């Protein structure tokens, strides 16, 4: 059986659980040996990042590489459909999420709980809001099916909603984005993940 090295609250691990469920694959989820950031885990995954996937004696890291691997391993339902341009658009959107939007959200994590530098939060919040607007321009008009680009966004936006309350900000998820998220939530793989992830996020926030 496939082994997914993951921690419950990791956004990129949540992204892969959505792919795995949508593909109807079974997997065993285990914490990184020796703990998050440990040398023992780095012996397995030199970069030390989560998630990583062990399959057929091979170890793969990076959620995007793993997601594309799973899509080829189990071709149906195809999560990277269409002609070359459509597939490039899906990759473009997915990478924008991973390299621009999610890091802008992550930049706020050190500011959760404790003493708050309002000016620093405002700066990071404004960058996040800008990234979200940019992400919106990449969304397709219609959602024919769940694609690889749709698996990171739901949990990232769940975090954005949570941090909106935490930092007492005005909502930044536009109507268009909310409607898009609703259409994603119609997929069982997404709604199941959100259902299971939400209490983990609340517990993590409460611990800060
Ligand atoms: N681009 C990577 C990013 C993964 C990532 O940043 N994971 C976090 C946990 S959510 C992590 O492992 N951070 C610690 C590190 O990179 O050393 C991916 O998609 O897998």
Listed by start position, the domains of the chain span: 2-73, 84-206
Nearest alpha-carbon partner for 18 in 51, 48, 41, 49: 51
Distance, CA of 78 to CA of 22 (rounded, Å): 10
Nearest alpha-carbon partner for 12 in 141, 139, 151: 151
Q: Is 104 helix (H, G, I), strand (E, B) or coil?
A: helix
Residue at token pair 């309002």? 118
Could you identify the atom of ligand 1 that is nearest to the CA of residue 37?
Answer: 17
Nearest CA to ligand 1 atom 17: 49
Radius of gyration, CA atoms only, the chain:
17
**pTM more than 0.95:** yes
Spatial strand order of the sheet with 2-5 comes to 27-30, 2-5, 52-55, 58-61
What DSSP state is assigned to residue 77? S
Nearest CA to ligand 1 atom 12: 49
Tell me yes or no: is domain 2-73 CATH 2.40.50.140. no
Q: Is 48 in the pocket of ligand 1 (CB under 6 A)?
A: yes
Distance, CA of 67 to CA of 138 (rounded, Å): 20
Ligand 1 centroid to 49 CA: how many Å?
4
Summarize pLDDT for 180-189 with one digit per residue, the tens: 999 999 999 9
Ligand 1 centroid to 83 CA: how many Å?
30
Which stretches in the chain have pLDDT values below 70? none
* Token pair of 63 as six digits: 């959620």
Q: Is 26 helix (H, G, I), strand (E, B) or coil?
A: coil
Q: Is 94 in the pocket of ligand 1 (CB under 6 A)?
A: no
132, 177 in Cβ contact below 8 A? Answer: yes
Summarize pLDDT for 147-182 with one digit per residue, the tens: 999 999 999 999 999 999 999 999 999 999 999 999
> What is the CATH code for 84-206?
1.20.1050.10
Q: What pLDDT is recorded for position 114?
A: 74
Ligand 1 centroid to 142 CA: how many Å?
30
Ligand 1 centroid to 85 CA: how many Å?
28
């Amino acid at each position: 059986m496939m082994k997914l090295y993951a921690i419950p609250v990791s956004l990129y691990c949540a992204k892969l659980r959505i792919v795995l469920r949508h593909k109807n694959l079974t997997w065993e989820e285990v914490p990184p040996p020796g703990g998050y950031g440990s040398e023992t885990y780095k012996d397995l995954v030199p970069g030390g990042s989560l998630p990583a996937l062990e399959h057929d004696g091979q170890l793969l890291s990076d959620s995007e590489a793993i997601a594309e691997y799973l899509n080829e391993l189990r071709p149906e339902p195809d999560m990277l459909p269409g002609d070359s341009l459509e597939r490039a658009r899906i990759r473009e959107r997915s990478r924008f999420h991973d390299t621009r939007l999610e890091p802008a959200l992550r930049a706020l994590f050190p500011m959760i709980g404790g003493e708050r530098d309002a000016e620093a939060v405002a700066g990071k919040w404004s960058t996040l809001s800008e990234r979200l607007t940019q992400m919106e321009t990449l969304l397709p008009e219609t959602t024919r099916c769940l694609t690889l680009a749709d698996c990171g966004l739901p949990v990232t936006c769940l975090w954005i909603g949570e941090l909106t309350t935490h930092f007492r900000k005005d909502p930044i998820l536009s109507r268009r984005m909310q409607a898009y998220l609703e259409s994603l939530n119609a997929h069982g793989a997404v709604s199941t993940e959100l259902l299971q992830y939400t209490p983990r996020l609340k517990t993590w926030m409460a611990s800060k």
